[in-house]
Every structure is written in C-alpha cells, then in structure tokens.
Amino acid sequence: MPVHNALIIFIKNPQLGKVKTRIAQELGDDVALMIYNDLLKITQNTASQANCRRILFYSDFIDESDDWDNTLYDKQLQKGDDLGERMKNAFEYAFSDPIIQHVAIIGSDCPHLATWHIEKAFIGLDTHDFSLGPAQDGGYYLLGMKELQREIFDNKEWSTSSVLTDTHNQMRIMRKSCYLLPALADVDTIENISLLGKEYI
C-alpha cells in the first residue's frame, strides 16, 4: 500500500565547534559534539520506525556515507536564509510528490520524541489542518500540515521563546484547526543534558 505521509528531519552536520554551541560554551566542543551525536542516534531510531517516507535535510552538505541509511532516507540539503525559509522550502519539496497527503517536520534536539508522537501527528491531520508539538522552551519540536501553508513560516523570531505562541496565534488568524501533541523538552543547554540519561562530565 502506498505511503501517503512524509516526515522531514532537519539536522546539522555533526562537526566539531558547529553544534550545541550553548552547551559548548560551558563544557567544550568535544562534549557538545558527543551530545549531539547521541541526539542524532535517538532521532534516527525514532524516525526509522515511523510508517512514512523519510526526507533528511542536512544543514551544510549531504553525507552519503554516514549512519543514515541511503535506502531509507531521501537525503537533501536545507536551502534558505533563515529557519523559516529553509522549512518552507523543505515542505514544498515534500508536497511536490503528488502521492503525499500529510507532511511533518522534526528536528534532532528532542530525546523524548517517540515514534508514536509522529504517528499521532499524522493521524491528527486526518481531522485537523495542522499538528503541533510544543517544546517546553517556547518553540516546537514537530509541525505537520495536510497542505502547504507557506505563511506559517513568515515573520517569526526563530530560536526565541515566542515561536510557539506566534505560530499558534497565526493558525487561529488563518482559521485553521490544530492538533496538539504533548509538550516535550529539547536539549539545548546544560540544564537539559540529564534528559539523555547518561553522564558526559
């Protein structure tokens, strides 16, 4: 049976000094890279179990020889001047496949994101215009939609605590319905490292 759902995964290329910079300021680049690689493994395991097409978007370059199976992931490069434009372009790419009916995007910062969250997001899109997974820092860990809504990415202060509220308010202004997932925490600071369940220092 054809798969009508597509999952976009946004990741940063795991390079020393370029990931988890807030953590690196306190614990160093090596520890920050170790933490990010662990987050990537968790994200990969979660995404690989979802019943959907998987599209992996790299930040800087496409790595055909990494641990992400080339047969499971359509590997692409993020394009755009800011996060909103990059996400918009990624959704446009996913929806360019006429068989795809629902598209959701996740990042690689949320260790408690489970496959069932992704599946529930797609199910929610059967009866709602959007699915949204609130992050406890004021952003979101998942955004899903049943048709491309470009304006949802416009005029946002990305990487701030207002992103979730601004996005949800815009959905109301657009008179669109939203299926809300449980709130989860991202790992962006040393206070969140404990979510990974291991010691790094």
pLDDT > 70 fraction of the chain, expressed in percent and rounded: 99
Q: Where are the domains of the chain?
A: 5-195
Residues 26-70 pLDDT 10s: 999 999 999 999 999 999 999 999 999 999 999 999 999 999 999
Where is mean pLDDT largest: 90-99, 156-165, 189-198?
Answer: 90-99
Of the pLDDT bands very low, low, confident and very high (cuts 50, 70, 90), residue 201 is confident
Block residue for tokens 């692409």: 76
Top-level CATH class of 5-195?
A: alpha beta
CB 96: neighbour CB atoms within 10 A? 9
Mean of pLDDT over the chain: 95
Sign of CA dihedral 181, 83, 92, 74: negative
Which among 18, 150, 8, 169 is positioned nearest to 85, based on CA atoms? 150
Q: Is the pLDDT score of 1 beyond 50?
A: no
Residues 163-178 pLDDT 10s: 999 999 999 999 999 9
Tokens of 74: 């359509």
Block residue for tokens 């008179």: 175
* Cβ contacts of 175 within 8 Å, gap of 6 or more: none
Residues 69-104 pLDDT 10s: 999 999 999 999 999 999 999 999 999 999 999 999
Cα–Cα separations (whole angstroms), residue 201 to 14, 50, 193: 20, 33, 10
